[in-house]
Amino acid sequence: IVPKWAHHKHVARTHYDKELLDEEIRPHWGKPLPELVKVLYGTENTEEALANNALSHEQFPKILFNGSIELLMSLHKKGIKTGIITATSRFNFEHDIDLHKFPRASIDYTQTADDTPYHKPDARVFEPAIAWLRERTIEPNEVVYVADGLHDMNAAIGVGFQFVGVETGLVKGSDFLAKGVKSFPTIMDINRVVSLPDSSS
C-alpha cells in the first residue's frame, strides 16, 4: 500500500500543488484508476491526470506481497483455476506482472479496469469473469475471491462468490469478522493452508 500511496502523493504535490493525506486516500482506494486520479488530484481532466501519473510510474514500483507467486503456483499445481481482477489499468497491470516476473502460466484469467464499465463494489464488475468461468462449467459459488477491502468483499458476495480477506492494513481482521467473513493476516498464511496435504488422500 505505502509505495502506491507515495506515488499518488508525489503526483498530487508535483503537478497539483496538493499535499495528500492517508485519510484522503483510504476511502477511495480500490476505485478504478481513471476515477481514482480525478478524486485524489482534484481535477476533472482524466487524461491529463493519467498522463501525470504515468510520468513517474516507474519511480514508485508496487511491492509484491510475500507469498503471492507461491500461492498462485501452488493452486496451479493442484489444478485450480486462478485469476487476478484489478482496478488498475491494463498498462499498469502488465507492467507490474513483468516487473515482478509473475509466472503467467499460473494465471488463467486476468481482468483490469479497461475490461468493464463496472467497478467494485458493484457486483456487475464480475460479469466478464463469470462468463469466462461458465465457459469452463465453474459456477460462482465454487469461486473463492481473495482481497483486502470491504468493497471487494461486497462485490464478491453480491455475485455469489465465497470470500476470504487479507489483512494488509486496509481492513482489520476484526472488521472482516464483523461482516461474517474469514480473513488471514497475510497471503503467506493462506498459502500455508492451501499447501497442507489433503486429509482424504
Q: Is the per-residue pLDDT at 52 higher than 90?
A: yes
What H or E segment, with its residue span, contains residue 85? strand 83-85
What H or E segment, with its residue span, contains residue 83? strand 83-85
What pLDDT, on the 0 to 100 scale, is given for residue 117?
Answer: 92
Cα angle 176-143-82, degrees, rounded to a multiple of 5: 105
What pLDDT, on the 0 to 100 scale, is given for residue 38?
Answer: 97
Q: Which of 8-12, 31-35, 163-167 has the lowest mean pLDDT?
A: 31-35
* End-to-end Cα spacing for the chain: 39
What does the pLDDT average to over 132-155? 95
Q: What's the CATH number of domain 68-194, 1.25.40.420, 3.40.50.1000, 3.40.50.300, 1.10.40.60?
A: 3.40.50.1000
Condensed to tens digits (0 to 9), the pLDDT of residues 28-39 reads 888 888 899 999
Q: Is the per-residue pLDDT at 195 higher than 70?
A: no
Q: Is the per-residue pLDDT at 175 higher than 60?
A: yes
Split at pLDDT 50, 70, 90, the class of 197 is low
Q: What is the pTM of this model?
A: 0.81
> Cα(65)–Cα(38) distance, rounded to whole angstroms?
27
Q: Which residues contact 153 (CB under 8 A, 6 or more apart)?
A: 147, 163, 165, 176, 179, 181
